[in-house]
Amino acid sequence: MNKSQVYIIIPLYNDENMILGVIKSLNKKGFNNIVVVDDGSKDRGYDVVSENSNVVVAKHIINRGQGAALRTGMEIAIEKGAKYIVHFDSDGQHDAKDLDHMLETLIKNDYDIVLGSRFLGANDIPFEKRVLLKGAIVFTYLLSHIWLTDVHNGLRVMTAETANRLDLQHDRMEHASEILDKIKSLHLKYAESPVTIHYTKYSMAKGQSIFNSLSIAWKLILTKFK
């Protein structure tokens, strides 16, 4: 696999302390095409990245949500000639070590998209998170008729063509379910791949709360019946 064809998209929101470590870990694994999209962070994230690394860094002048930031990143990557696109979180939860396997799975089997699954990997998932995620799995099945071992996992690998076809419309967190919806409606060839999630106090505090998840669920139901 030619890693110069791979572009990593990292939406950045108030993670100035983590982002450089994330970029370094990706560089170490040979991934040098990185697009960081600062989504109107309140901290110095954008400056920290542009002053201390060589990655492409874009800035949303106001916060538009992770879905919007991913789309901006994907558009930039595609303009730069990306063949494969990776969604990667900025908070240090994801592990760059998983990418080789995911990309190989994608390319060798001619998949359109490969989704990371923390339940397939050996992860010690906190109880509260486990309950929330299992609920989300059932919810996704009811709404999108797609059964996965993990939903709302931000680590995804796809072809540039898939990124184009996804045509993400949801700006905020609903994009994760939108992607699954589109996998079904566009009949995309997909697979899940085990990934490691690093649960730290930091990433847990930043993750989705129960209240937030309910609000996302409600919005998705509304869009379904529009």
- Please, which residue, 71 or 152, has the CB nearer to other proteins? 71
Instruction: Tell the smallest beta-carbon distance from residue 98 to other proteins (Å).
Output: 27
* Closest among 119, 225, 226, 217 to 177, alpha carbons compared: 217
**Residue 61 interacts with other proteins (CB under 8 A)?**
yes
- Please, which residue, 169 or 185, has the CB nearer to other proteins? 169
Long-range contacts of 44-50 (CB under 8 A, 24+ apart): 44/16, 45/12, 45/13, 45/14, 45/15, 45/16, 45/19, 46/12, 48/16, 48/19, 48/20, 49/12, 49/19, 49/20, 49/23
| Strand, helix or coil for residue 113 | strand
**Residue 95 interacts with other proteins (CB under 8 A)?**
no
- Residues in region 98-127 near other proteins by CB under 8 A: none
**Residue 58 interacts with other proteins (CB under 8 A)?**
yes
> Which helix (H) or strand (E) covers residue 210, if one does?
helix 210-224
Single out the residue of 64, 83, 101, 134 in contact with other proteins (rule: CB under 8 A). 64
Instruction: Tell the smallest beta-carbon distance from residue 179 to other proteins (Å).
Output: 17
- Please, which residue, 114 or 220, has the CB nearer to other proteins? 220
**Residue 87 interacts with other proteins (CB under 8 A)?**
no
Per-position x/- string for 131-160, each x denoting binding to other proteins as judged by CB under 8 A, each - no binding: ------------------------------
Do residues 85 and 7 touch, judged by C-beta distance below 8 A? yes
Q: How many CB atoms lie within 10 A of CB 23?
A: 25
Single out the residue of 5, 25, 27, 75 in contact with other proteins (rule: CB under 8 A). 75
**Residue 71 interacts with other proteins (CB under 8 A)?**
yes
Single out the residue of 60, 87, 156, 182 in contact with other proteins (rule: CB under 8 A). 60
Cα 5 from Cα 68, distance rounded (Å): 23
Beta-carbon contacts of residue 197 (< 8 Å; ≥ 6 apart) = 93, 94, 95, 118, 121, 123, 125, 153
Beta-carbon contacts of residue 15 (< 8 Å; ≥ 6 apart) = 41, 43, 45, 90, 91, 206
Instruction: Point out which span in 65-73, 132-140, 155-163, 181-189 binds other proteins (CB under 8 A).
Output: 65-73
Instruction: Tell the smallest beta-carbon distance from residue 74 to other proteins (Å).
Output: 11
- Please, which residue, 1 or 58, has the CB nearer to other proteins? 58
Tokens matching residue 48: 């920290």
Which residues contact other proteins by CB under 8 A? 37, 56-62, 64-65, 68, 71-72, 75-76, 79, 169, 171
